C-alpha cells in the first residue's frame, strides 16, 4: 500500500457518459498529479494541484476537469466519454509543489468505455 | 512527443545477469527519476538523480547522468525474476529562469523480463 488511495479500481461505462475518479493523497502530501496511461500514448500528464490550487496543466481535454478539495483529496471528472478515453488513470502525490523527491503513485483506476 | 526516450524497448535476460536501460531527453532538466511498474499496477519510485550529480546508487541499482549528452542509464545488478517489470525514466524540466515546470514527463519505458 503506497498510501495514495484511488477509487474505484475498475470502471466500465458507456460512450457519452460522465464519471468521477477519486484520489486521496498520502498523509502530509499537498500535491496531487493526474496521469493517463494508454498503450499508444504512454503516460500523459493531465493536471497538477497543490494545496487546492491548480499549478500546471498538461494534455487534458476540455471534456475533463479536476479539482482538489480542502481536505486535499482530488477528483478527476471525465464527461462525454469516448472509446478512446479507455485507459488507466493514475493519481500521484508529493510533499511539496516541486519534484525534489519522487512521486507516490496510487494503484490506478482502469476505465473501460464501451 | 515524449521528453524521455528509453532504450531498449524490451530486454530479456537470465537471473543473475545485469540489466542496463538507457534514457535520453531533449531539454535541460532539474532532476531525472526512474520508476518501476509491474503489469497494470501503480508506478514505484526507484531513484532520483539531480542535474549536478553524475552517479547514484541504491542497493542493486546504479544510475548515471550525463547532462552534456542529455542521457541517463539505469543498471540493475544481479537481476532477479522479481525485477521483471517496466522501467520508466521521468524528467523534471527546467524552464527559462531556472524554475521547474513542477511536473514529471515520462518516457515510453523499457520492458524488462528476467527468466529464472
Q: Whose CA is closest to A34, among A26, A17, A22?
A: A22
Residue B1 — very low, low, confident or very high, per pLDDT cuts 50/70/90? very low
pLDDT of residue A67: 97
Query: Which residues in chain B touch residue A104, judged by CB atoms under 8 angstroms apart?
Result: 45
Q: Is the pLDDT of residue B100 over 70?
A: no
pLDDT of residue A48: 93
Three cell numbers written together for A5 = 488511495
- Between the two ends of chain B, the Cα-to-Cα distance in Å is 36
Q: Could you read off the pLDDT of A25-56 as tens digits, one per residue?
A: 999 999 999 999 998 888 999 999 999 999 88
Q: Is A45 on the interface with B (CB under 8 A)?
A: yes
Q: Could you read off the pLDDT of A72-111 as tens digits, one per residue?
A: 999 999 999 999 999 999 999 998 766 677 899 999 999 9
Residue B40 — very low, low, confident or very high, per pLDDT cuts 50/70/90? confident
Averaged pLDDT score across all residues of chain B: 91
Hey, is B82 helix, strand or coil? helix
Q: Is A92 on the interface with B (CB under 8 A)?
A: yes
CB B32 within 8 A of CB B90: yes
Contact between A48 and B42 using a beta-carbon 8 Å cutoff: no
Sign of CA dihedral B22, B87, B50, B55: negative
Q: Whose CA is closest to A112, among A91, A72, A90, A82?
A: A82
pLDDT of residue B2: 47
User: Could you give the count of Cα atoms lying within 13 Å of B75 in the half-sphere of its Cβ?
Assistant: 11
Hey, is B98 helix, strand or coil? coil
Separation between Cα atoms, residue B105 and residue B107, nearest integer Å: 7
pLDDT of residue B25: 93
Q: Is the pLDDT of residue B85 over 70?
A: yes
Percent of chain B at pLDDT > 90 equals 75
Question: What mean pLDDT do residues B40-55 have?
Answer: 93
Which of B2, B35, B42 shows the shortest C-beta gap to A106? B42
pLDDT of residue A89: 98
Amino acid at each position: 500500500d503506497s498510501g495514495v488511495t484511488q477509487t474505484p479500481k475498475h470502471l466500465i461505462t458507456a460512450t457519452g457518459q460522465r464519471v468521477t475518479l477519486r484520489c486521496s493523497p498520502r498523509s502530509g502530501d499537498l500535491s496531487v498529479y493526474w496521469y493517463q496511461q494508454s498503450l499508444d500514448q504512454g503516460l500523459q500528464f493531465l493536471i497538477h494541484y497543490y494545496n487546492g490550487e491548480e499549478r500546471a496543466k498538461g494534455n487534458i481535454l476540455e471534456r475533463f476537469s479536476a479539482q482538489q478539495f480542502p481536505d486535499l483529496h482530488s477528483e478527476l471528472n471525465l464527461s462525454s466519454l469516448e472509446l478512446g478515453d479507455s485507459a488507466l488513470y493514475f493519481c500521484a502525490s508529493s510533499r511539496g509543489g516541486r519534484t525534489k523527491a519522487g512521486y507516490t503513485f496510487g494503484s490506478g483506476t482502469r476505465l473501460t468505455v464501451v | 512527443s515524449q521528453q524521455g526516450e528509453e532504450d531498449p524497448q524490451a530486454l530479456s535476460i537470465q537471473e543473475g545477469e545485469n540489466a542496463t536501460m538507457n534514457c535520453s531527453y531533449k531539454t535541460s532538466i532539474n532532476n531525472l527519476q526512474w520508476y518501476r511498474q509491474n503489469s497494470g499496477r501503480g508506478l514505484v519510485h526507484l531513484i532520483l538523480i539531480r542535474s549536478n550529480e553524475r552517479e547514484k546508487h541504491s542497493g542493486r541499482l546504479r544510475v548515471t547522468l550525463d547532462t552534456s549528452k542529455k542521457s541517463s542509464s539505469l543498471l540493475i545488478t544481479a537481476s532477479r525474476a522479481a525485477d521483471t517489470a517496466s522501467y520508466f525514466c521521468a524528467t523534471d524540466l527546467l524552464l527559462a529562469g531556472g524554475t521547474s515546470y513542477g511536473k514529471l514527463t515520462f518516457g515510453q519505458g523499457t520492458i524488462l523480463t528476467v527468466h529464472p
